[in-house]
């Protein structure tokens, strides 16, 4: 909740909770986790997994 000054308007000097969260520094391990996640997404699908998916698609139709 924001404070009000003498003229009844909200005091802009009190940060909102969302603004406070945006200024929070992310932990050092967060970048490494993001890089690992991105690397896994870039890996090709193994042939055996692609074959299994194809069989499951064929059985479902």
pLDDT at 34: 95
Q: What is the pTM of this model?
A: 0.39
pLDDT at 12: 61
Q: Which two tokens stand for residue 22?
A: 């945006």
pLDDT in tens, 1-47: 555 556 666 656 655 666 666 667 888 899 999 999 999 999 999 99
pLDDT at 60: 74
Q: Which two tokens stand for residue 1?
A: 């909740």
Rounded Cα gap, residues 49 and 56, in angstroms: 11
Rounded Cα gap, residues 1 and 17, in angstroms: 9
């Amino acid at each position: 909740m924001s404070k009000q000054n003498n003229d009844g308007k909200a005091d802009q000097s009190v940060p909102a909770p969302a603004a406070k969260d945006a200024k929070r520094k992310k932990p050092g391990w967060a970048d490494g986790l993001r890089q690992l996640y991105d690397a896994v997404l870039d890996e090709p699908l193994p042939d055996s997994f692609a074959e299994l998916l194809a069989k499951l698609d064929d059985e479902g139709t």
